[in-house]
Structure 1
Amino acid sequence: MSFSILEDVRATHQDLDRLTSYLTTLLLPGAPRSHRDKLIQAHRAKYLSELITLRAGSLLESYTDRDHERATEMEKLSDTTAGELAEFYSRLGKLNDFHRKYPHHPNPDLSITFDWSGLEGEVIDGRDFIDRMFTGEELLGRYLDLHILHDTYNNLTSTSNLASKRLPYISYIDKFDQFDNIPRTTKNRPEYITYLKDLRDYLESFHRRTHPLYDLDADLDNLYTEFEDKWAAGEVAGWTYEEVENTEGIWCEACTKMYSKQTVYDAHLKSKRHLKAIEKLKETDASKEPSANNLKELRRAKDRPVAFLEHEIELLGKLLESFRVDTKANVERRAALTDKERQQEIEEYEEREAKERLEAERQAEIAANGGGGAGGAGGGNGEAGEEDEDDEARIYNPLKLPLGWDGKPIPYWLYKLHGLGVEYKCEICSDFVYMGRKNFERHFQESRHAFGMRALGLPNTKHFHEITRIEDAFALAEKLKSEGRAEIFRDETMEELEDDEGNVYNRKTYEDLQRQGLL
């Protein structure tokens, strides 16, 4: 709410001071400890610098005063014909009217903290904006993820003379910015241009995500100027046409193909392929009608965007050379691992990330509570000791880890090793939840489970271990009973007994005759 151009300028100056203060506070505490913290700090600094640039541009526009509103307001303030304070009281009245009309209008937030929701958004499924920014293969911007582009490249070259040499992924990492071995016929296909755009977009996006404070636009602008000069002079590598002109035969610019004889060349001029190529050249520059004289010019105009895309990719490949080396080493290393070792590596990485995240949250909480330093500039050893005692007294346990023998949360790796994050619910124990497989197996011999089995009228034997549902327990008991009855019947019919006279009977018949006194 503002009724004054000058007030807007003052408020913009205030915003600039606050944003500069935020940026200073962000960068001054020192180098971040972890790779994640470095990325978060860099992206926040980039976000603040963009806001500062935006505010500064708005301020410059106000000082330029193209519509002369600022000069008009200055004249009103300096006008004394209606009294020296007339304009002041007029504005004061407008302010009072506004606040009477909107009594709950919020005041400007002048706090030192900054709301990062515009940059970071919300934490979704436990993943913050840095996690969502990179794929799992990129590992928070440590490695390149070129698998999809590698497949596209192999599919693209499958129709060329490179089909017999399907490029492995590790070789593609070295050669994704090398285009000399790709034939001109492949480069003329629309799929090739799409592939180049996708590769350029990915490399540019990866560089901006990993180096948010780097001025990549300046390098791209310089590249464009340099490319224009080289293209005009015909010095762009891989796109010179002298070698074509000096070869024997007749070259068709439209079809980008060499014909050995004049008769063959004349015959192909009426073919569908040549006419289709001419139509495509027309799309490049509709103002020019393709002819024998300007075919080369039209072909160069069509080739120019492709050549520039290749030059952009070559530049980005040089800027990301260290990532290329690390990615290749990581691919070679992972290829030598077993599945178990890869899974173990992933778990170790997740554990390390969890520790770093916990430490970052702890440091943020300490800083928010005013205890970020080791006593401050004027703090003595006594104050530092009190802070240490407070930290020890307050147990920081955001992940709700179980407490160990010393009263502190157990290490996260131990928590993962014993599977204490996995829940096992037992219906016989009144839906009690046991955390971890070891606790679950142990509870079958404990009093709670034994009491539940007695309440059901069932014996707590080993047959019922691993049974947690009441319905399953009754079904197993019935099955055991039926198997017991079958065992008894089998004994009665299979066991044979002999009387005094040598007659042989099965057990059931023998006992019946004995009860009747016939034996």
Structure 2
Amino acid sequence: MSSTLLEVTRASHEEIERLERLIVKDLQTEPATNKDRLHQSHRVRNVIEQILESTHKLVDIYEDKDGARKDEIAALGGQTATGTNVFSAFYDRLKEIREYHRRHPAARVVDTSDEYEQLLKEEPQIEFSGEEGFGRYLDLHELFGEYINSKFGEPIEYAAYLDVFYKPHKISRKLKSTRQYMEYLQKLLEYLIYFFERTEPLQDTDRIFSKVVADFEEQWANGNFEGWEDDSQENGSDPMDHTVIDLDYYSTVEELMEVGPDKLKEALAALGLKSGGTVQQRAERLFLTKHTPLEKLDKKHFAKGSRGPERNGGGAPLQLNEDAKEVALMEAKIRKLCDLLEETIVRTKENVEKKQALTYEEMEAEREEEEVQAESESDDEEQQIYNPLKLPMGWDGKPIPYWLYKLHGLGQEFKCEICGNHSYWGRRAYERHFKEWRHQHGMRCLGIPNTKNFNEITSIEEAKQLWERIQERQGLNKWRPDLEEEYEDQEGNIYNKKTYTDLQRQGLI
């Protein structure tokens, strides 16, 4: 193989140049849809990996650790052992090259433009679940189930979970120290990385995380990482002092028992000791640490799996610190990924709220419409549809007739401020939108019920004014017992409740 080393070098350089031109040509084409953009990005990513593979091969050749390249260059100059037979050395090299190409026909210099053009038309296989909508939405249902069924989670809805899953600093330190929380974070981080690599294949996750780790190490060393702040820097005490009881104030076990079973249990757990038993047993076990260092205590007092005797100056166990740092680093990576996927998270939440507002029939109709659109896109992908008037597409994937466009008034634009200045084309779509999820969500944000009274109202100010008038009218017609409930005294005089109560307090009745 050493006799063909320069040929391998030349072929590798040629392949890299061709692949680079292929990337430039692919990126010059503007993708029409999100699906095309993903396919293009994955094609470019695959080509980049091929370039990296060839580059690593070239680096090994140029390093020439075995001296094969140096010997081959020397042989090209006719520098043989005797230094005289230049022509025989040349013909020997020529024979070796011909033999190499005979055994490796793929290495011959041929026109591979057609082969590279085929790469531009490839559709890479990208796996997405149905809920992810080809990379448009996140699918966190499995993680949501783990969250609401865990000790650190809350019984909330999926839409609310999308607002809190990337805010782990809201969870208490005590709950973060559990193995369940660490496993949950690992699964969440793995999913976000997997989703990010599928939707943004041209992003370098290693470079992104290297900066995250550098910033995290600095914040962790200073004790100011969000959610894991070091309280000892503020008051000079151990971070776990809020759970450890100061035994200097207690001279007997009986006095220590007055602290209560819960605080004794927390103090024992913080020191790595067994926390079970009666109040007296807990107090006796904790009182042992007053005059005896933890390193000299009998191992029977420590909880199973605890590394209590291996403590560092009475602080938290070393293993706990290492686990805490690992959990905090995962939190930092999750926050960074969620910052990069912010638009996707917002889009996912909007999609969930939209589905909650739809009926079963509307959801089925929407699903069928998406299937028809997907089929029309795949069938007519290579056909350029002539649509100079930019008419809406019909059920067959072609522009609707112009007379139908005019009949339904689809050229008229109606804007709704409550829907975030969203445009509706045609009177029919405009009237129908008052019952759709977008308008309902806007009315909920304003705190106004979406009743028939607010049909045809698209201005936020008008909706607020009408709601105030409705509330005032309801207030006038409302029965007020203080003024309208009647009372009669012994003489037959009629008073309302307020007047009667006042006269009775004054002793006049």
CA distance in 2, matches of 1:215, 1:104: 36
How does the TM-score come out when normalised to structure 2? 0.60
Displacement after TM superposition at 1:313 (Å): 0.8
Describe how 1:70-85 pairs up with structure 2 within 5 A.
Answer: 70-79=69-78, 81-85=83-87
Identity of aligned residues (%): 30
| CA displacement 1:296-344 (0-9 Å, x = unmatched) | 5443122111111111111111111111111101100111111111111
On the 8 A contact 1:2/1:8 being kept in 2, the answer is no
Matched, 1:224 2:210: no
- Pick one of 341, 344, 354 that aligns with 1:323: 344
Aligned pair in 2 of structure 1 residues 193, 249: CA closer, same or farther (>3 Å)? closer
Matches within 5 A, 1:469-484: none
* SS at 1:3 equivalent: helix
Tell me how far apart the structure 2 counterparts of residues 175 and 59 of structure 1 sit (CA, whole Å).
48
Separation of aligned partners in 2, 1:296 and 1:209: 40
Cα distance in structure 1, aligned partners of 2:118 and 2:186: 31
| Corresponding residue number in structure 2 for 1:455 | none
**In the aligned structure 1, how far is the partner of 2:363 from the partner of 2:226?**
42
CA distance in 1, matches of 2:306, 2:162: 36
Q: Aligned residue for 1:22?
A: 22
Tell me, what secondary structure is at the counterpart of 1:85? helix
CA–CA distance in structure 1, aligned partners of residues 105 and 46 of structure 2? 31
Q: Is the 8 A contact 1:12 1:59 kept in 2?
A: yes
Counterpart CA distance in 2 for 1:257 and 1:34 is 61
Q: How far did residue 141 of structure 1 move?
A: 0.5
* Equivalent residues in 2 for 1:67-466, closer than 5 Å: 67-79=66-78, 81-97=83-99, 107=108, 110-114=111-115, 129-130=124-125, 132-157=126-151, 165-242=154-231, 244-245=239-240, 247=242, 249-250=244-245, 251=267, 253-255=270-272, 263=284, 265-266=286-287, 274-279=302-307, 289-290=310-311, 293=314, 295-362=316-383, 411=396
Aligned to 1:441: none
Distance 1:249 1:12 in 2: 66
Amino acid at match of 1:278: S
8 Å CA contact retained: 1:22, 1:112: no
CA contact (8 A) 2:11 2:107 kept: no
Structure showing greater radius of gyration is 1
Aligned to 2:453: none
Partner of 1:432: none
Contact kept, 8 Å, 2:186 with 2:330, in 1: the verdict is yes
Q: Structure 2: how far apart are the matches of 1:144 and 1:305?
A: 25
Rounded Cα–Cα distance in structure 2 between residues aligned with 1:253 and 1:114? 66
In the superposition, relative to structure 1, how do residues 103 and 237 fare at CA in structure 2: closer, same or farther (>3 Å)?
closer
Deviation larger for 90-99 or 330-339 = 90-99
Deviation at 1:108, TM superposition (A): 5.7
Structure 1, unpaired ranges of 5+: 122-127, 283-288, 364-387, 389-409, 415-519
The whole-number CA distance in structure 1 between the counterparts of 2:174 and 2:118 is: 49
SS at match of 1:186: helix
CA deviation vs aligned residue, 1:164-214 (integer Å, no higher than 9, x gap): x40211011111011233233432222221111110011111111111112
For 1:43 and 1:174, the matched residues in 2 are separated by: 30
Any conservation in 2 of the 1:290–1:298 contact (CA below 8 Å)? Answer: no
The answer on whether the counterparts of 1:134 and 1:140 sit within 8 Å (CA) in structure 2 is yes
Structure 1 residues 94 and 74: alpha-carbon distance in aligned structure 2, compared to 1, 3 A threshold: closer
Note the C-alpha offset of 1:46: 1.2
Query: Distance in 2 between the 1:89 and 1:319 partners?
Result: 60
CA contact 2:168–2:331 (8 Å) conserved in 1? yes
Paired letter, 2:95: G
C-alpha spacing 1:273/1:186, structure 2 compared with 1 (3 Å)? farther
Q: Structure 1 241/195 Cα, relative in aligned 2: closer, same or farther at 3 Å?
A: same
State how far apart, in whole Å, the 1-side matches of 2:183 and 2:323 are: 14
Question: Contact between 1:187 and 1:193, CA under 8 Å: does it hold in 2?
Answer: yes
Change (3 A) 1:109 1:156: farther
| Structure 1 residue 6 corresponds to structure 2 residue 6 | yes
Is this contact kept in 1: 2:224–2:230, CA < 8 A? no
CA distances 1:459-491 after superposition (whole Å, capped 9, x unpaired) = xxxxxxxxxxxxxxxxxxxxxxxxxxxxxxxxx
Tell me how far apart the structure 2 counterparts of residues 263 and 118 of structure 1 sit (CA, whole Å). Answer: 75
Cα distance change, pair 204–86 in 1 and its aligned pair in 2 (3 A) = same
Map Cα deviations across residues 371-419 of structure 1 (whole Å, 9 max, x no partner): xxxxxxxxxxxxxxxxx9xxxxxxxxxxxxxxxxxxxxx93699xxxxx
Distance in structure 1 (CA, Å) of the matches to 2:96 and 2:62: 25
What letter matches 2:396 in structure 1?
A: P
Question: More deviation in 234-243 or 341-350?
Answer: 234-243
In 1, distance between residues paired with 2:367 and 2:272? Answer: 51
For residue 353 of structure 1, report the CA deviation from its aligned partner. 2.0
Checking the alignment, whether the CA contact within 8 Å between 2:131 and 2:137 is kept in structure 1 is yes
CA contact (8 A) 1:5 1:70 kept: yes
For 2:13 and 2:24, how far apart are their aligned partners in 1? 16
In the alignment, the residues of structure 1 paired with residue 398 and residue 365 of structure 2 have an alpha-carbon distance, to the nearest angstrom, of 12
Identify which range, 111-120 or 84-93, moves more after superposition.
111-120
Cα distance in structure 2, aligned partners of 1:129 and 1:191:
37
Normalised to the residue count of structure 1, the TM-score between the two structures is 0.59
Alpha-carbon distance between aligned partners in 1 of 2:332 and 2:339, rounded to the nearest angstrom: 11
Kindly state the Cα deviation for residue 147 of structure 1 after the two structures are TM-superposed: 0.5
Partners in 2 of 1:48 and 1:99 — Cα distance?
25
Q: In the superposition, relative to structure 1, how do residues 271 and 334 fare at CA in structure 2: closer, same or farther (>3 Å)?
A: farther
- Alpha-carbon spacing, 1:135–1:207, altered in 2? closer, same or farther (3 Å): same
SS in 1 for 2:195: helix
In the TM superposition, what whole-angstrom CA distance separates every residue of 1:83-120 from its partner, at most 9, and x where no partner exists?
333333112223445667x5987856532244799999
Report the Cα distance in structure 1 between the residues aligned to 2:299 and 2:104, rounded to whole angstroms: 80
Match of 1:403 in 2: none
